[in-house]
Amino acid sequence: MKKIFLFHLLLVCPVIFLIWYIVFPNYLWLLEGNSFFSFTPDFAGIQLSLPSDWAQYVGAYLLQFFRFRTSGALVQMLFVLIVLLSADCIIARLTRNKGLLWLSFIPVIWFMSGQFADVLLVRSMWWCSISAVLTLLVWLLTIRRKAPVAWGERYFFSSPFFTYIVPCLLLGFIVYREVTDEKQKETEFISRIDHLAENRNWDAILQNVTPEMTKKNSSLLRWTLLALSEKGQLPERMFAYGVTEPACFFYERVDKQFCRNFNMQFFRALELDNELLHNAFQAGILSPYGNSFRSMRAIVDACVHQGRNRMLAKYVEVMKHTSCHTKQAQLLGEYLASAGVEDKINSGKNTSPFFIGAHPFLSDMARMVDRYPENRKAVDYLLCGLLISKDVDKFYKVFSLLYKPFSVKLPRYYEEALLVLATQHPDILRRYPVGQEVVKDFNSFHALLKGGTMNQKMLEINYRDSFWLFYYCMKAVKKSAEN
């Protein structure tokens, strides 16, 4: 039986490890970020008072190690290994027939079928605990059996085919199911884009997310617009991704941990640390643990950036009671030792005297631009938001205040909006000249537009990412997409 045990280990361990290490690494990162653990007695008391008590507490401890790809994959592999070895031991003790050990893969595939959805590891903890207890009970009940009697040795299901081939088939089936599951693939992809945004890898986001994806998934749309803003391409490419309203830029007053996590990235990009802190606190509260590692790291970064040393000192103490943040806590402790624990809050552009989110998005951006007119990102959000709202008159009022005539080469959508305005106010083009190629394209667009619905498809093909199509034909395009 030892050879079969070894065969099972060599078969299962590398496969399960590689699934999590290669196929779902970003999902592991997401689970760690949304979790929290501390060795302090108050955290243990709260967790042990919940219905899931010890299982959630131990699960939270293990989720810490999901921060690192290798250790996260090893933990998930360990769960499967415990279930497999427990089943092997139980079957071996009860049947005394090594040919039936393939049956141990039945509980394994059952366990693996729900492993991805076990975000708190509570299910995994109960599976492993019950498996270990059953193994111990079976061993105690069979320990006094003097004459081992093998059961079913002559049956076909005890043949080498079942011993070696069936485990491979069962494992192959569950691996194929897990890897090809559309919902799990989508979750991993979204986690990957989230991870890229957290690391500020904007080029990779724009390379991986297509306009077809953003038109089906609003979360991907927000990350793409954020990446465009960071690259300075928002007024050049945003209409290619299916924007419909200014609310596409971030989540307004949506109390979900996922949404607050995105808002942290959004306000970090705008260098508004006050709003980053606000959303980080909200995201932590919305975590099943009342806090989250991701929120904690965001708050620490904002405190360092702003000079909030008192708050930073408190979070450094929290970090010291975790397993995977001790090095970071040590570095921050050295920083505090040299800088002191007194606040040295910077009064720069990373603070705002008003609360973002209390008013509609465009109103907040207007106040941002009024206070920081040099903030290119806020200017783009305001002007692009007005274009999405199709309020070209207000767009021109703001635009004329921010852009001097004959000053710089204008972004694409601003030029297209000026041509729309010029149909009613031709003198605009004297102050803000537009390239001849753009004027020629607009004339061609207008000629097709006059042709009515018969030219609709041609408009959608030739001008699918233009402001003109959005401004004149948005309802028609939306209806066509639904059909």
Instruction: Give the mean model confidence (pLDDT) for residues 450-470.
Output: 87
Nearest Cα residue to 226 out of 259, 257, 248, 256: 248
Confidence of residue 483 (pLDDT cuts 50, 70, 90): very low
Residue 341 predicted with pLDDT over 50: yes
Instruction: Answer whether 79's CB lies under 8 Å from 124's CB.
Output: yes
Residue 17 lies in a domain: yes
Angle at 230 between CA 228 and CA 236, to 5 degrees: 35
How many structural domains are present in the chain? Answer: 3
Confidence of residue 356 (pLDDT cuts 50, 70, 90): low
Q: What is the pTM of this model?
A: 0.91
Helices of type H across 162-217: 166-180, 182-198, 202-208, 211-214
Residue 315 lies in a domain: yes
Last residue of a domain, one of 324, 339, 354: 339
Over residues 89-119, the pLDDT tens digits come to 999 988 888 888 999 999 999 999 999 999 9
Do 257 and 153 belong together in one domain?
no
Do 59 and 16 belong together in one domain?
yes
> Can you give the pLDDT at residue 414?
96
Do 232 and 325 belong together in one domain?
yes
The angle, 0 to 180 degrees and rounded to 10, between the axes of the packed helices 122-142 and 53-63 is: 110
Instruction: Answer whether 379's CB lies under 8 Å from 369's CB.
Output: yes
Instruction: Give the mean model confidence (pLDDT) for residues 442-453.
Output: 87
Confidence of residue 481 (pLDDT cuts 50, 70, 90): very low
Do 35 and 144 belong together in one domain?
yes
DSSP 366-413: HHHHHH-TT-HHHHHHHHHHHHHTT-HHHHHHHHHHHS-TTSSPPPHH
Do 314 and 246 belong together in one domain?
yes
Instruction: Tell me the residue range of the domain where 131 lies.
Output: 2-180
Do 271 and 175 belong together in one domain?
no
Last residue of a domain, one of 339, 367, 399: 339
> Can you give the pLDDT at residue 344?
74
Last residue of a domain, one of 318, 339, 360: 339
Residue 78 lies in a domain: yes
Do 53 and 118 belong together in one domain?
yes
